[in-house]
Structure 1
Amino acid sequence: MALWIYRRLPGAGAAPRPVHLAHRIGGAVLLVLSLPIAYHCITAYGVQMDSARVALHSLAGCFFYGAFAAKVLIVRSRHLPGWALPLAGGTLVTLIAILWSSAALWQLAQP
């Protein structure tokens, strides 16, 4: 949706107002849904450095919430350079991919 909002989808034109609202609501809902998972992981496991996969997952989980807060602040700021928002969004997508691949994908790939 962000690509559509910022007119980066070829041939899509301008995004209607409901797309802006859906993007914000979707992001807020996904963040709220991730909080119980993060709470469980932190209280049950903490930050562990037992293996490279677990360490990567622990650190990516910690950085995710910081990157999300930074992205929300960057969206509201008019004083930052134009590359700051795409960098923050790309960081979030990368962290989500790392979290998923170091937990769910790894678990599904186990015999």
Structure 2
Amino acid sequence: MTGHAGARMRRPARTVAGFLAALLPVAVAVGIYAFGRTHTPDSTSGLFGQHGVGVKDLKARLGSALMGLAVVQLLLGLWMYRRLPGAGAAPHRVHPTHRLIGLLAFLLSLPIAYHCITAYGVEFTSSRVAVHSITGCVLYGAFVAKVLVVHSRRLPGWALPAAGGALVTAIALLWYTAALWHFVGSASGF
């Protein structure tokens, strides 16, 4: 095959691979949404031995820890890409630390998400609950997008901060609509 013919054959394969990579995060979010809407929730289920108000308090605390890890991730990401004012260049150890904290945040999110989806599913009983439910589905799609972007060398420079920003934003919105709401209490009008 000559150079031009080989390039033409590779281009459609790259286009299909790029399309599938863009579709995967959407498929993850839609799959979680579909499961959350079709399975029968069990609001009596527990988490780590906690039930009722105890499980809500535990999830609010775990969600707050997750939010803290997301803030650390954001700061480390800004530092790695020299966007953290006054910090200078990040030492080499910041990169593996960023990956490790990202893994810990992902693992911490799993029991929270598992309980939410199995105990409540995807609900639209109020604006807060609807935003929380949809954002919970989007969170794992955003995580898949971030992993794909990190491993891609062909995407534009804005793709990584956009994917990371979407992930931090989803975590912040989930924290705001659940953990903060729990700590402040629904009686305050929040």
TM bucket (normalised to shorter chain) is: over 0.9
Task: Pick the aligned partner of 1:48 from 123, 126, 129.
Answer: 123
Counterpart in the other structure of 1:96: 171
| AA matched with 2:129 | V
Q: In 2, Cα distance between the equivalents of 1:39 and 1:12?
A: 38
| AA matched with 1:102 | T
Counterpart in the other structure of 2:111: 36
Identity of aligned residues (%): 66
3-state SS in 2 of match to 1:54: helix
Counterpart in the other structure of 1:108: 183
| AA matched with 1:72 | V
Q: In 2, Cα distance between the equivalents of 1:9 and 1:38?
A: 31
3-state SS in 2 of match to 1:79: coil
| AA matched with 2:80 | I
* TM-score scaled by length of structure 1: 0.94
* TM-score scaled by length of structure 2: 0.56
Q: In 1, Cα distance between the equivalents of 2:78 and 2:133?
A: 29
Cα deviations across residues 71-107 of structure 1 (Å, max 9, x unaligned)?
A: 1110111111111111111111211111011001111
Structure 1 residue runs of 4+, over 6 Å off? none
Q: 1:109 Cα deviation (Å)? A: 1.6
Counterpart in the other structure of 1:15: 90
| AA matched with 2:109 | S
Q: In 2, Cα distance between the equivalents of 1:88 and 1:11?
A: 24
Matched pairs, number: 111
Q: Counterparts of 1:55-70 in structure 2 under 5 Å?
A: 55-70=130-145
Q: In 2, Cα distance between the equivalents of 1:11 and 1:107?
A: 36
Greater Cα offset, 38-47 or 11-20:
11-20
| AA matched with 1:97 | A
CA RMSD for the aligned pairs? 1.1
3-state SS in 1 of match to 2:122: coil
Q: 1:10 Cα deviation (Å)? A: 3.1
